[in-house]
Structure 1
């Protein structure tokens, strides 16, 4: 059966794969790794064994890169065989002795060693359950805000919003009006329901109007945002309940690990003798100091800028810089 090169990791990681194969092939004259026994191999290529551990590493790498997707073992073994063929070809051509490859191998080596140092540090200084619990109590459990449950009707103009408010004042059903008029409820037919949310998830004018409402009350005047005009109904509010420790433990662990690593690196940086040998900021070119000879009469003085009613000088046309404020989050739909 004819084998085809599968586009897994060959194109992007052939160099590192070559390094790995030099460690796992075992019987080449350039390898310094322990020779692989036949019982510990998945294949042999021109007398060079490919270890079972290499297959396991490839399976793990692909699972991480493809978010759990798996491939048949036959294809993975063929991938390793093709990598070994490339490595053998490179070694036969003495590519491992070229300055470019040596430089790249050194970069890969340093990267692998730095990761190994981090893993060794975290193994010796693991994040404990006590660390996680302390972080949870100080950062998660202590944060108690207010959640709101609301509906809204969003229309394009203030006049439309006022007509809808007039209907609400006469006892019309809010959800039915939302399904009929709201720009974001006509298709969903959800009655303008926004569910539960914290005030910071909404744009400022919306949140400010919502917080002032009593339970069951709607805004008597339209609320303008960059999305249009809103009528807001506050259905309920409650004290925000923090998630249980077990629900956020997996999120806290990486954060605490990074914190430990950062503290360790800062301490070692202070103890190390470091001299930066390159400028860290670009120097601006110096302006020319020689003035050109004056051959023409001096120009008449510029006219003063026109002063507006406020007494401030008006900027000339085209000089006004338009601001671009950050766009707040759109209300949930």
Structure 2
């Protein structure tokens, strides 16, 4: 409560300062002469970086350096993410002072000698080392060339997927859909019929749905559309939960893979995960993990046996199962959505 109040007061003071500073600066400035244009004001220069060894504050016998503040910001900065950068810096510094103050009291009370506290300190130290090791030997070692190579491999392994460019006329009843088909059979332009009769939002654009691939439309619509050849339209209406459709396919093509820059972050996450798994497994093999508790070892052996028996999971089968269990909301321009 005290820390929160202190931060609110500090924030209020900073807000007040930010509000009054321009006014004071304006009062101190010399106004331009009549008819004279105001002098151009150069933007303020960015502050110079603070050396990490710079001492910012002292708490008892301990110093807080810029390096300490940067390290604390990595852990605490998100808690103050809603604050402007300068206020966030002061908030993290205030939190770090609180931590240093109570930590010194704990040292004086010899709490670090208590088994539970000692175990926690040891765990946090090892976790920090674990993170630092992977950051240096895993994350920092990833190159753009490695990411591009992995992207190319993923693209090469992709199975060709056919996508369609289609239009449709959506009406409430089968009779209206039949009437629209008769007009098309008589030679009337599809776009004109869609603009006149379609109740979907895409009607004014000739019922154009753009390109879509498998699974992006409701099943009845998708089945009918993929059965058509380019230039053809359905000779019988297609019913879905949105109404009755007359569908025309304009073009079929092989779906293109997304550009490397569009999925670079996802590829990086994939490579990082694989590097981590390989790095941890290599360390386990080198150091020889031994489960000294017989009951625990039996549980681990049973789990590994079950995983080995199940075999590797087929990623495509997993994706199909996930798609089948999804409950998408039809939205204009989103999948699955022939309701426009």
TM-score tier, shorter chain, comes to 0.5 to 0.7
Q: Which residue of 2 aligns with 1:88?
A: 101
Structure 1-normalised TM-score? 0.60
1:193 and 2:199 correspond: no
268 and 214 in structure 1: CA distance in 2 versus 1, 3 angstrom threshold: same
CA contact (8 A) 2:171 2:177 kept: yes
Question: How big is the shift at 1:154?
Answer: 3.4
CA contact (8 A) 2:77 2:92 kept: no
Q: Which residue of 2 aligns with 1:72?
A: 85
325 and 230 in structure 1: CA distance in 2 versus 1, 3 angstrom threshold: farther
Unaligned 5+ runs, structure 1: 8-36, 282-323
1:169 and 2:185 correspond: yes
More helix by share: 2
Unaligned 5+ runs, structure 2: 10-50, 301-323, 329-334
Find the aligned partners of 1:79 and 1:108 in 2 and give their Cα distance: 20
1:207 and 2:222 correspond: yes
Question: How big is the shift at 1:88?
Answer: 0.9
Find the aligned partners of 2:197 and 2:262 in 1 and give their Cα distance: 40
Find the aligned partners of 1:184 and 1:72 in 2 and give their Cα distance: 47
1:258 and 2:273 correspond: yes
Q: Which residue of 2 aligns with 1:52?
A: 66
Find the aligned partners of 1:274 and 1:178 in 2 and give their Cα distance: 71
Find the aligned partners of 1:171 and 1:181 in 2 and give their Cα distance: 16
- Measured on the aligned residues, the alpha-carbon RMSD in Å equals 4.1
115 and 224 in structure 1: CA distance in 2 versus 1, 3 angstrom threshold: farther
Q: Which residue of 1 aligns with 2:138?
A: 122
Q: Which residue of 1 aligns with 2:246?
A: 231
**What secondary structure sits across from 2:234 in the alignment?**
coil
Per-residue Cα deviation, 1:235-261 (whole angstroms, up to 9, x for no partner): 223333334445544432221222222
Corresponding pairs, count: 258
Per-residue Cα deviation, 1:75-132 (whole angstroms, up to 9, x for no partner): 42243124312441354254954666555544433432322232243168x3345543
231 and 70 in structure 1: CA distance in 2 versus 1, 3 angstrom threshold: farther
- The residue correspondences of 1:5-84 to structure 2 (distance < 5 A) are 5=7, 40-46=54-60, 48-57=62-71, 71-84=84-97
191 and 47 in structure 1: CA distance in 2 versus 1, 3 angstrom threshold: farther
Find the aligned partners of 1:45 and 1:80 in 2 and give their Cα distance: 11
**What secondary structure sits across from 1:5 in the alignment?**
helix
Structure 2-normalised TM-score? 0.59
